[in-house]
Each structure stands twice: as C-alpha cells, then as structure tokens.
C-alpha cells in the first residue's frame, strides 16, 4: 500500500471505531499511533506520542478553557442566571409566547457567562420548563425552545469551540468572539420569530398569561440581573478594551463569577467543589480529544491523505459556493452522530486547506462552523441538548416529542446558515470594526 492509501485506510478505521461507539479520543489516538507506526516504525510513533501531546498542552492559550468552564459551572451551580429569566419573564409574559421568548433571552444571558450549550440547556431547563408547564404551554414548544436556545451558549462568547478553532487554525480568538456575537443574536432573533409565528398560527400552544405583574415587581426583577451584567461588563470591557487577552479573560471571568456568587450569598463550599470537579473532568475529556486530533493531523500530513482529499475536492473545479454547501451538508450529517468537539477536530485537518483556497476567511468559517456544530446538538438521533432536556423533564415529555418541538427551529437555523453564507459581513462586521 502507498502512504496515501494507508492514510485513507486509517480514516476508514477511525470512522468504523466511532460508529461502534468507541470514545472518540481513544479512537483518534489509537488510529493515529497505529498509522504512524506503520508509516514510520515504532520509534517515530512512540516519540510522537510523547512529544506531540506535550507540545499541544504547553500552548498557553489552552489555559483559558478550564477557566471559562469554571466560569460557566460556577454560574450554573450558584444559580447566578436565574434573575435573567425572571426579569425576561415578567417583562415579556404579556406578548404571545412570552415565556418561551423569555427563555431565549435568558439563554442568551447565560451564554454570555458560559461556553457550553449543554450547561445552558440544563440550567434554563430547570428554570424555564416548570414555569411554562405551569402556564399550560405545549410540552413540545416548551422543551424544544429550551433545547434549541441552549445552542446559543457556544455562539455568544466565551466559546470553547471558538477557542480551540482559533488555536488550531491560528485565527484571532478575539475576532472569533466578536463574530460570534452577531450570529448568536441573529439566532436568538430567529428563535423569537419562530415562537411568534407558531403561537400566532396556533394560540393553544402558549395560552396568554393573565396575571399582570406590577411595575414595582418588574423593576425589582431587573436588580436580580446584576451578577450576569457584572460578569459580562468585566469580561467584555476588559477584553475589547485591551486590558487583558482572551487567555486571561477566562481567569478574570471565573474570579468575577466567584465574587458575584459570594456577594449574592449563593456560594457554598459544596457548590464550589462541584464546579471545580466538573471543570477538571470536562477539561480532561476535551484535552484527550484535542490531543488525539493533533496526532491525527500529524498522521494525515505524513501519509499525504489530507492533501490528497483536499486536492481531490479542489480538483473537481466546482464553484466555491458548491464547495461550501458540500461542507455544510457534511457537518450537518456529522452533527447527527458526533458531539461537536469531536466532529470539529476530526475534520479540520482536511477542511482547513479547502477553505484557505477559497475567497472566504478562516475567521468567517470558524464562526459558521460553530453554528453548524451547534445545530448538531439538537438534530436526531444524537441531539445532546435533547437528551439533557429529557433528563430534566423525566417522563413528563418523551424524547420524540422534544425532537418534534425542535423541527421548526432547525428550519430557522438553516435559514440563518444561508444568510451567513450569502452575507459574510454578518460575521465579519464587528471583527473588522474593532480591527
């Protein structure tokens, strides 16, 4: 077999292992090590296993990932974002589907202090779903709204996916964060439009809330939003004001979250310990997958399989828009079966050279990719946010019903993706403005 054939065979074995539900980090490391062993013999493979993980883990920017995770977990366990939903609920409950719309805005607020879709869906699910069910909202609309609103968590910075993409593609993380703001807000607006349309067509989905909160209560609810505002102003003000880097922003945000929770009186040793434990476990899992992807990149580079695939795609002479559309379809399909980080790291060694040969910027693609991966969080059969919601609601709503509740939102997500491709400045406006 030629080197390229060995590389292609390795990719085939990798996909087979993933299909058999082998943990993606283990599959990446095993296939890459085995491929390097065949290509370059034992010493080179063993040496790569010793040096590449160290070189990757020694990247200083990676230190921001556990810090941003700690920020999100502290906010989650100390319930710092409950005030955002309460304020949105009181101010928006009078309009059709107001509680569902409040959930979208509450999720956007949580997204600004977290980089995790799963954490966002879990937190808002425990707060918003009982409230909507109490007011006789349709279970499909209630759970579907929370599950899909959770995907905003990886779009509005901070975003773990964007940090890793920036490291691998050598793209400005600050630029990715700025680009994600516009896409996150556009997605939230799209979800609000879907809710309004559905309730307009079928008012029984969301019966109007009859009780009216007095203005004093509404104003008092705004006071409860101060923890999120405090953290957002601290992170974004310092980051975009040049006081600290994206790497340092994670540590600053985690510190601000701890301070806010202490001032609010919701910080206990047990909650802080749980946040620390989940941060360590999640960081470890992320880094194992990322190290496996680094080894795969070396394997594909030495075998030439990555260049072969990229050249084959570009050699077709297809229009740039057709190539982008093909990449979008591939990621939508991958999102049905793989979790976002694995899908991204598995494909970037092949996709990045293709994007680099087009007129589109890697920064634009990084934000678009994050949106595509987040759509995968709610598409069947492995929609992670859907199963998070199932864990929250238990037997009250079936998994099938939650997926049905998401279908309208997926249509809107695809429309947003089409807009991002047709009008790249939706992503690039803020990065270019600050640059």
Residue 430 lies in a domain: yes
Residue, of 429 and 390, whose pLDDT is higher: 429
pLDDT score recorded for residue 183: 94
What letter would DSSP give residue 201? H
Residues 120 and 218 in one domain: yes
Residue the block writes with tokens 């998070």 = 388
Residues 43 and 142 in one domain: no
**With bands split at pLDDT 50, 70 and 90, how would you rate the model's confidence at 210?**
low
Please tell me whether residues 261 and 334 are part of one structural domain: yes
pLDDT of residue 429: 93
Structure confidence at residue 58 (pLDDT): 77
Mean pLDDT of the chain: 86
pLDDT digits (tens, 9 = 90+) for 71-121: 888 988 888 877 777 888 788 877 888 889 988 988 888 777 776 777 778
pLDDT on residue 424: 94
Query: Is residue 51 over pLDDT 90?
Result: no
**Which whole-number Å values give the CA distances from 234 to 133, 249, 253, in the listed order?**
35, 9, 7
Q: Is residue 381 reached through a cis peptide bond, with omega within 30 degrees of 0 on the bond before it?
A: yes
Q: Of 303, 330, 352, which closes a domain? A: 303
Q: What is the pLDDT of residue 324?
A: 92
Q: Does 278 fall in a domain?
A: no
Angle in degrees, CA 392, 394, 397, rounded to 5: 100
- Mean pLDDT in residue range 340-350: 85
pLDDT (tens digit per residue) in 126-161 = 888 888 888 889 999 999 998 898 888 788 888 888
CA distance 373 to 328: 10
Rg (CA), the chain: 22
Residue 264: CB atoms within 10 A of its CB come to 16
Q: 183 and 312 in one domain? A: yes
The residue among 303, 330, 351 that closes a domain is: 303
Predicted confidence at residue 425, as pLDDT, reads 94
The candidate with the shortest Cα–Cα distance to 229, out of 97, 317, 109, is 109
φ, ψ for residue 316 (rounded to 5)?
-70, -20
Residue corresponding to tokens 């107001």? 98
Task: Note whether residue 19 is domain-resident.
Answer: yes
- Are 122 and 236 part of one and the same domain? yes
Is residue 176 scored above 90 in pLDDT?
yes
- Token readout for 384 is 């992670």
**Which residue range(s) make up the domain with 9?**
1-58+290-303
Cα–Cα distance between 164 and 285 in angstroms, integer?
14
- DSSP string covering 92-109, please? HTTSTTHHHHHHHHHHHH
> Is the residue at 284 inside a domain?
no
pLDDT at 115: 65
Residues 110 and 248 in one domain: yes
Which of 62-71, 204-213, 347-356 is predicted with the least confidence, judged by mean pLDDT?
Answer: 204-213
The number of angstroms, rounded, from the C-alpha of 98 to the middle of its chain's C-alpha atoms is 25
Q: Average pLDDT of 402-414?
A: 93
Residues 111 and 1 in one domain: no
Residue 270 has pLDDT above 70, yes or no: yes
Q: Residue 266, SS3? A: coil
Picking from 249, 278, 303, the residue at the C-terminal end of a domain is: 303
Q: Say yes or no: 26 and 70 in one domain.
A: no
304-316 mean pLDDT: 78
Q: Same structural domain for residues 252 and 125?
A: yes
Domain-located, residue 342: yes
Q: Are 187 and 151 in contact (CB under 8 A)?
A: yes
Predicted TM-score (pTM) above 0.85:
yes
Whether the CB-CB separation of 305 and 8 falls below 8 Å is answered with yes
Residue 244 has pLDDT above 70, yes or no: yes
Higher pLDDT, 96 or 180: 180
Mean pLDDT across 285-304? 85
Answer whether residue 327 is part of any domain: yes
The DSSP 8-state label assigned to residue 244 in this structure reads S
pLDDT tens by residue, 323-332: 999 999 989 8
Let me know whether 46 and 17 are in one domain.
yes
Return the higher-pLDDT residue of 155 and 209.
155
In a domain, 275, yes or no: no
The DSSP string of 295-358 is HHHHHHHHHTHHHHHHHHHHHT---HHHHHHHHHHHHHHHHTTS-HHHHHHHHHHHHHHHHHTS
Q: What is the pLDDT of residue 4?
A: 87
Q: How confident is the model at residue 284 (pLDDT cuts 50, 70, 90)?
A: confident
Work out how many domains the chain is built from and give that number.
2
Per-residue pLDDT for 186 more than 90?
A: yes
Q: How confident is the model at residue 202 (pLDDT cuts 50, 70, 90)?
A: very high
- Please compute the mean of the pLDDT values over residues 209-230 and round it to a whole number: 80
pLDDT confidence tier of residue 228, bands split at 50, 70 and 90: confident
pLDDT tens-digit map of 347-403: 888 899 889 888 889 999 999 999 999 998 888 877 788 888 888 788 888 888 899
Flag whether 313 is in a domain. yes
| ω into 158 cis (within 30 of 0) | yes
> 395 or 275: whose pLDDT is higher?
275
Query: Percent of the chain at pLDDT above 70?
Result: 99
Cα distances (angstroms) measured from residue 405 to each of 148, 251, 319, 324, 350: 9, 37, 36, 29, 35
Indicate whether 176 and 87 sit together in one domain: yes
146 lies in the same domain as 40? no
**What is the mean predicted confidence (pLDDT) over 27-48?**
86
Q: What is the largest CA-CA distance in the chain?
A: 76
Selected residue with higher pLDDT from 303 and 191: 191
């Amino acid at each position: 077999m030629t080197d390229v054939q060995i590389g292609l065979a390795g990719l085939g074995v990798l996909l087979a292992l993933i299909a058999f539900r082998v943990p993606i980090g283990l599959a990446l490391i095993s296939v890459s090590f085995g491929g390097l062993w065949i290509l370059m013999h034992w010493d080179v493979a063993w040496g790569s296993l010793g040096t590449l993980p160290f070189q990757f883990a020694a990247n200083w920017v990676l230190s921001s990932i556990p810090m941003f995770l700690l920020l999100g977990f502290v906010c989650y366990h100390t319930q710092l974002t409950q005030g955002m939903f309460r304020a949105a609920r009181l101010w928006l409950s009078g309009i059709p589907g107001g509680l569902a719309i409040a959930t979208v805005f509450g999720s956007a607020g949580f997204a600004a202090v977290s980089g995790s879709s799963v954490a966002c869906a879990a937190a808002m699910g425990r707060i918003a779903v009982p409230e909507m069910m109490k007011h006789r909202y349709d279970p499909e609309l209630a759970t579907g709204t929370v599950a899909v609103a959770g995907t905003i968590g990886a779009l509005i910075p901070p975003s773990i996916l964007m940090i890793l993409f920036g490291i691998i593609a050598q793209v400005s993380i600050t630029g990715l964060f700025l680009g994600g703001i516009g896409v996150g807000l556009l997605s939230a607006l799209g979800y609000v439009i879907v809710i309004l349309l559905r309730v307009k067509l079928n008012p029984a989905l969301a019966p109007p809330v009859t009780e009216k909160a007095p203005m004093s209560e509404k104003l008092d609810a705004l006071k409860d939003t101060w923890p999120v505002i405090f953290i957002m102003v601290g992170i974004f003000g310092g980051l975009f004001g040049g006081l600290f880097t994206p790497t340092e922003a994670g540590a600053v945000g985690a510190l601000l979250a701890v301070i806010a929770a202490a001032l609010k009186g919701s910080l206990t040793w047990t909650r802080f310990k749980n946040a620390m434990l989940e941060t360590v476990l999640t960081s470890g899992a992320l880094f194992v997958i990322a190290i496996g992807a680094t080894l795969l990149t070396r394997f594909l580079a030495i075998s030439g399989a990555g260049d072969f695939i990229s050249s084959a795609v570009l050699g077709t002479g297809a229009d740039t828009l057709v190539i982008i559309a093909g990449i979008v379809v591939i990621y939508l399909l991958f999102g049905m079966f793989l979790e976002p980080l694995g899908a991204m790291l598995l494909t970037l060694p092949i996709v990045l050279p293709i994007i680099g040969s087009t007129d589109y910027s890697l920064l634009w693609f990084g934000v678009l990719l994050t949106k595509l991966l987040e759509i995968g969080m709610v598409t069947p059969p492995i929609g992670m946010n859907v199963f998070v919601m199932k864990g929250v609601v238990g037997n009250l709503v079936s998994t099938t019903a939650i997926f049905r509740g998401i279908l309208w939102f997926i249509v809107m997500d695809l429309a947003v993706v089409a807009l991002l491709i047709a009008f790249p400045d939706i992503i690039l406006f803020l990065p270019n403005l600050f640059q």
